[in-house]
Amino acid sequence: MLGRWVLYRWAALLGGIVALIALPASANATLVSTPVPYMGWNTYYQVGSETPGSNNINESTIKSVAQSLVSTGLAKAGYKIVWLDFGWVSGARDSNGNLVVDPTQWPDGLAALTSYLHGLGLQAGIYTDAGTSGCSGQGVGSSGHYQQDADQFAAWGFDAVKVDFCGAGQQWLDVPPNDPRTLYAQFSNALANTGRPMILNVCNFWTPGQINGSAPSFADSSWDSYTWAPADAQSWRTDTDIGFSRKPDGTGGIQFANVLRNLSHDTGTASNASQPGIQTAAGPPGTPSSSPIAWGHWNDPDYLGPGLGMTDTQAQSQFSMWAMVAAPLILGSDPRLLSTTNLNVLENPRVIAIDQDSLGAQGFLLSQLGSAQVWVKPLAGGARAVALFNTGSSSLQISTSARAVGMPRASQYTLSDAWTHQTSTTNGGISALVEPDAVVLYRVTAAKHTVTVSRRGKGSGTVRSSPGGIDCGSSCTASYPAGTTIGLSEIPVPGSKFAGWSGGCAGTLSCTVTTSADQTVIAAFTLLAPNTKITTEKVSSENGKARFNFKAIGTSTGFRCALVKQPKAHHKKPTPSYRLCRSPKSYTHLKPGRYTFLVSAFNVGGSDPTPATRRFTIH
């Protein structure tokens, strides 16, 4: 990369109009799924150097950083990828075209390095350029060796590959067939052919005209990568670098103005570019519905840079906004040098949860009045992340409402401040005094109310809700956001019938309730007598024995049988004593006399009130 900002910062940023094109189908089914934006650390901004082969990217440094990721808690917070960038290799090749790895730089080899990282619960990333070399003819490039290098990266055990376009852009000026779309598709196919699932990061950072004043075109620039890159990669750069490598005296690095610039091009809000659809280009596996992609695919506005030129407030705001736009969270700073304040920011679980939300929606600018911005990010479960962002130089009161940010109508809402960890309630207003360069970040949820279904009566049945949550038989209670309309439906079991609703509903029709408070709905069920007919067939009745076959016509779960001997004249008629039985039913050792055999069917709703009878005589 060789100090991109030192060499190319003069380039003009050209406006343009881009048409959103349909994403092509891709066969790269072995790219890792990345259901949420990936997280990790990269060598480029602080640990790296401008001179390939003579820098801090070596085995001891990388292991030291990896240990720091673990010991500081960054790895536990999600920063798993240890990513080698420009400078890990000189780019020289042997007679067979294999990359030559310096044994003094990597004494144990790169396979041993990835094994070490995996042993720490981390992952390994590596870098190359789509051209024959990196920036200004220096460093590694994979042109002519895409499959060979991809196979080598896989064999070494790497989990992610960043493919730059610095050298390729300078070398060919994006003239087909050496344009970004073509070359990245080729490299993506090479990774797929390895059989090892890996992340591919498209680092086509060039903005329109940045190479020589006319190249690249808008269509070949980072501002337009979102229209084609999702079909080939899990992430793609949406603007140029947010800074340059930190100087030895501690100056330089990442400037907040560049963070704001990249944020605007990552979200289609820049005044000098038309980027329709960029916010919906990103998403989890299976999106967009019109042309589902098998892996998560994310807009990449560049790396996080606390301690590299920004104030702590600015670094915290960058982190907040990167989370809001579902960006990959890759740390560019040396974790061994971060302050406790920086670490606390980077490890904030509430902010990370917004970035890693399973819905995978990218946040968007809802409204702006001068330097006061309101950003919204839909979250799984119906919540919203709301960022009140002050990009100005003086404190501002920034306001919006729950309804404006897309929350359902409710009597009350909960505001959880991701930075102060304080929770408050509101009837709908969302407002805060925001300091310069700062972000107030809320998770907004509608207050919830409980709906409980109580089943009454001798009968039985199931009650289910739409939307789901209630399924009596497993759970008769569920909580819903205030203002939610719940439909309840009853399903009697065999032998029972539904008798009606009471409580929140009345009558026997379907029940609909709206959650404005906790409430209980009663569902009544009654028993049904079995609708059966019994047929009996006497098999024999002699020698003190009798045997009967019988069956039910209709719904039945069992039978009860009784045998009554007819009394002598003027004697009291005996009461039948029923017992469970099944066909055929046999009796033995019967004394002579007249008998009546009775059989009754039953089910869960009760017994057949009229038993079948069969009279017989034993001589």
At 587, give phi and psi (nearest 5°). Answer: -130, 145
Residue that has been written with the tokens 């055999």 in this structure: 597
Q: What digits encode the pLDDT tens for the residues 538-558?
A: 766 778 888 888 877 666 668
User: Which amino acid makes up residue 189?
Assistant: N
Of the chain, the percentage scoring pLDDT greater than 70 comes to 89
Residues 288 and 194 in one domain: yes
pLDDT greater at residue 589 or residue 527: 589
> Are 112 and 254 in a shared domain?
yes
**Given the DSSP bridges, would you call strands 429-434 and 396-401 parallel, antiparallel or unpaired?**
antiparallel
> What is the phi/psi pair of residue 600, to 5°?
-130, 135
Q: In the prediction, which pLDDT does 556 show?
A: 65
Query: Does one domain contain both 267 and 323?
Result: yes
Q: Is the pLDDT reported for residue 285 higher than 50?
A: yes
Residue 144 has pLDDT above 90, yes or no: yes
Let me know whether 605 and 495 are in one domain: no
For residue 430, the domain's CATH number is: 2.60.40.1180
Q: How confident is the model at residue 250 (pLDDT cuts 50, 70, 90)?
A: low
User: Does residue 129 share a domain with residue 39?
Assistant: yes
For 401, list phi and psi in degrees, rounded to 5. -140, 160
For the stretch 458-494, pLDDT in tens is 778 899 999 999 998 767 999 887 778 899 999 988 7
Q: For residue range 186-206, what is the model confidence (pLDDT) as tens digits?
A: 999 999 999 999 999 999 999
pLDDT tens figures, 493-511:
876 789 999 988 877 888 9
- The closest alpha carbon to 245, from 86, 113, 394, belongs to 86
Residue at a domain's end among 527, 549, 583: 527
pLDDT-derived band at 616 (thresholds 50, 70, 90) equals confident
Structure pTM?
A: 0.76
Query: Is there a single domain that holds both residue 520 and residue 554?
Result: no
Final residue of a structural domain among 318, 346, 362: 362
Bridge partners of 153, per DSSP, are none
Query: Are 339 and 386 part of one and the same domain?
Result: no
Q: In this structure, what are the phi and psi dihedrals at residue 565, rounded to the nearest 5 degrees?
A: -90, 130
- Work out whether strand 298-300 and strand 235-237 pair parallel, antiparallel, or are unpaired: parallel
- Find, among 335, 502, 323, 482, the residue nearest to 413 by Cα: 482
pLDDT at 246: 60
Alpha-carbon torsion angle 92, 94, 99, 103, nearest 10:
-80
| Contact call for residues 400 and 385 (beta carbons, < 8 A) | no
Question: For 430-434, what is the mean pLDDT?
Answer: 98
User: Are 342 and 455 within one domain?
Assistant: no
Please check whether residues 155 and 204 belong to one and the same domain: yes
Cα 219 off chain centre by: 30
Predicted local distance difference test score (pLDDT) of residue 7: 32
Whether the predicted pLDDT of 610 surpasses 90: no
Choose the catalytic residue: 85, 129, 159, 164. Answer: 164
Provide the angle, in degrees to the nearest 10, between the axes of the packed helices 110-119 and 146-156: 50
Q: For 85-136, what is each residue's pLDDT tens digit?
A: 999 999 999 999 999 999 999 999 999 999 999 999 999 999 999 999 999 9
- Domain stop point among 446, 479, 503: 446
Neighbouring C-alpha atoms within 13 Å toward the C-beta of 1: 28
Q: Same structural domain for residues 143 and 68?
A: yes
pLDDT digits (tens, 9 = 90+) for 19-60: 333 444 344 445 789 999 999 999 999 887 544 444 689 999
The dihedral sign for the CA sequence 234, 215, 83, 337 = negative
CA distances, 300 to each of 134, 162, 328 (Å): 20, 12, 6
Domain span at residue 143 reads: 4-362
pLDDT level of residue 67 (50, 70, 90 thresholds): very high
Q: Which long-range contacts (CB under 8 A, 24 or more apart) does 570-576 make?
A: 576/611
Task: Quickly count: other Cβ atoms within 10 Å of residue 299's Cβ.
Answer: 29
User: What is the mean pLDDT of the segment spanning 371-396?
Assistant: 97
> Residue 237 pLDDT > 60, yes or no?
yes
Q: How many CB atoms lie within 10 A of CB 618?
A: 17
Is 241 among the residues known to form the active site?
yes
Query: Is the same domain home to 326 and 435?
Result: no
- Do 85 and 178 lie in a common domain? yes
The tokens for 347 are 């490890």
What span, in angstroms and rounded, lies between the C-alpha atoms of 362 and 381?
15
Q: How confident is the model at residue 247 (pLDDT cuts 50, 70, 90)?
A: low
Query: Nearest 5°: CA angle at 51, between 46 and 54?
Result: 90
> Domain tally for the chain?
4
Structure tokens given for 191: 């990774």
CATH classification at residue 79? 3.20.20.70
Q: What is the DSSP string of 128-153?
A: EESSSSSGGG-S---TT-HHHHHHHH
Given the residues 174, 241, 300, 302, select the one marked as catalytic. Answer: 241
Residue type at position 208 = P
Mean pLDDT of the chain: 88
Q: What is the CATH number of the domain that holds 542?
A: 2.60.40.10
Q: Note if 417 is an active site residue.
A: no
CATH number at residue 454: 2.60.40.1140
State how far the Cα of 488 lies from the Cα of 513, in Å rounded to an integer: 8
Distance CA 259, CA 481 (A): 36
Mean pLDDT, range 300-309, rounded to an integer:
95
Top-confidence residue, 437 or 602: 437
Q: What is the mean pLDDT of residues 287-292?
A: 89
Name the residue type at position 115: S
- Cα–Cα distance for residue pair 385/533, rounded to 1 Å: 64
Query: Is the pLDDT assigned to residue 298 strictly greater than 90?
Result: yes
Peptide bond into 467 cis (omega under 30): yes
